[in-house]
Structure 1
Amino acid sequence: MRYTSIADLLSRSTPAHATEPLCIIMAEDDTALAETVTHHLNAGFRDVVLLGPDGVSLPDDLESLVHVVTHNVFAEAALPTAVNAFIDACAGRWIYYCYNAEFLFHPFCESRSVREMLAFHSEERRDAMLTYVVDLYASNLDRHPNAVALDDAHLDRSGYFALARKDAAKNWEPKDRQLDFFGGLRWRFEEHIPWPRRKIDRISLFRARKGLRLAPDFTLNDEEMNTYACPWHNNLTAAVCSFRTAKVLRTNPGSRDVIPTFHWHNSVPFTWHSQQLLDLGLMEPGQWF
């Protein structure tokens, strides 16, 4: 069904699965849009909201399965602002958000749904999950000028690191169990990426409650929900495998003509399997078996 705004959706629609995780996808263009929606439906999300500009379209068989909402996706901090519009109305539900051409993977997702994973994470008394945005890119930019090719996707197998996240309110002391993570294309081509956008960590999955808000840097206004683990053991983390940075670097006139390829000696083909991400340390199974 189509809606003219988020407010229109929230006022007219009662999702069929109101206690289950909600997936919000922001479509900045049509790139891999149908594939993004299909991936998240297959992951186990039964309620998917697609936010896009006027005229955004999906194949009829997919459109019948999602809520399509007209939205200004090019406003500053458009995705966090949109997510915040859902939080109070969805109190108690898990919310996941991403852009088109981004794909959520969690440990053992080939055999266990996102609903099962979040049920387990809730039993661990966790209300949020850290995700790493893993850059994907086509190896051949002559054949794929926008760097998006699901059948030729590559990622970096090394070059990821973390720095202590400092607390300005406490004399810049490190925050407990919080780190800023870097790597991928945003690290290798950092001269084209503004400093505030170089981090690759997001709190992409969280349980909504009234008053909770997502900041433009994809952290929440509850510090415990920004941690990568609880105090007593490591918790699950997940990965959002994303063509978005590659696509932006190939679209931006300032970077397009000076980057002939994203391929380097640490590029490896992406297998579209969670085991590869686990082996590379790009997500953590915690106590999840």
Structure 2
Amino acid sequence: MHYSSLAAVASDAKRSLSRGPVALILIEDDVEVASTIAYHSKAGFAHLVAFCAPEQTLPAELPENLHRADFNVSAEDALQTITNTMIKALPDHWLYYCYNAEYLFYPFCEDRSVGEMLGFMREERRDTVMSYVVDLYVKNLKDYPNGVDRDDAYFDKSGYYALAREDAEGVVLERQVDIFGGLRWRFEEHIAKARQRTDRVAFFRAQAGLKMLPDRSFNVAEYNTYACPWHNNLTASVCSFRTAKALRRNPGSRAVIDTFHWPQSEPFNWQSQQLLDLGLMESGQWF
């Protein structure tokens, strides 16, 4: 299905996206569009909605459950606009968002579907899955000047840290943290401060009155927590070339960064166990 606007897909959502979960994929450029769509299709989402400019070319072969919606994803607050519109359109649905050249990992994702994972989270009485963005990058920028190569991807195996999140009055917020690390930490002078965090509420259950805020947190405090009060919960990782792409696209950073590789770089093997072993996500009570 091809929709001419965000409003069009939202108005038809209850009919065409009646089953969940739904993946919202924001396509910013031509990099790894086909692999992003194929990867998330295999994960078990009931529907994928690709938001992209009208002139964007999508792969010829697309999964039957992919819907296209024309939208300027480079516009200011595009993510919040899309997310808040789809929250209203799909109450009680689980929604997930990512950009092209980003790939979802959760514990045991090689053998268990997204639906199975979210079923477990509902049993845990959780309406969100906290995730952490893991920056992917290439070692050889000479051969891959945009910083992207899925067959030879690296990531930082250490260098991540968390700070307790505070409200405007300096009061520490319960079970909320700001996470930093990866390329955004190592090259922070080239990254806007508002975009340096790597924590992301990638999955959330839509409900009446829920809104994504400008900092990508939600107006319901519990949605921003990494775990429930009584035990740790499952978390996920979004492995992403997006920061590498941005650092290579920006003339200022491109001129001074000749490699992303450093002593703590490790080849990415595209397996959830690698991320679990390094503490970049956890299985909680799910075995």
What interval of TM-score do these two structures reach, taking the shorter chain for normalisation? over 0.9
Matched residues in 1 for 2:103 and 2:58: separation? 17
Find the residue that maps to 2:61 and give its secondary structure: helix
1:40-189 matched pairs, under 5 angstroms = 40-62=40-62, 64-168=64-168, 171-189=169-187
Matched residues in 2 for 1:165 and 1:12: separation? 38
Residue segments in structure 2 that go unaligned for 5+ positions in a row:
none
Give how far 1:216 is off: 2.5
Give how far 1:173 is off: 1.6
Aligned to 1:288: 286
User: Does the 8 Å CA contact 1:39/1:103 hold for their aligned counterparts?
Assistant: yes
Residue range with higher mean Cα deviation, 62-71 or 157-166:
62-71
Find the residue that maps to 2:238 and give its secondary structure: strand
Letter in 2 for 1:282: L
Establish whether residue 220 from structure 1 lines up as the match of residue 218 from structure 2: yes
Give how far 1:40 is off: 0.4
Find the residue that maps to 2:178 and give its secondary structure: strand
Residue range with higher mean Cα deviation, 2-11 or 228-237:
2-11
Within the candidate set 219, 228, 238, 2:236 is matched to 238
Give how far 1:64 is off: 4.2
Letter in 2 for 1:155: F
TM-score by length of 1: 0.97
Give how far 1:76 is off: 1.2
Matched residues in 1 for 2:164 and 2:2: separation? 43
Aligned to 1:20: 20
RMSD over aligned Cα, in angstroms? 1.2
Number of aligned positions between the proteins: 287
1:269-288 matched pairs, under 5 angstroms = 269-288=267-286
TM-score by length of 2: 0.97
Residue range with higher mean Cα deviation, 79-88 or 117-126:
79-88
User: Does the 8 Å CA contact 2:14/2:89 hold for their aligned counterparts?
Assistant: no
Matched residues in 2 for 1:9 and 1:263: separation? 42
Within the candidate set 241, 249, 261, 1:263 is matched to 261
Determine what percentage of the aligned residue pairs are the same residue.
56
Matched residues in 1 for 2:195 and 2:16: separation? 36
Q: Which runs of 4+ in 1 moved over 4 A?
A: 13-17
Matched residues in 2 for 1:63 and 1:8: separation? 20
User: Does the 8 Å CA contact 2:38/2:63 hold for their aligned counterparts?
Assistant: no
Matched residues in 2 for 1:20 and 1:8: separation? 19
Give how far 1:79 is off: 1.2
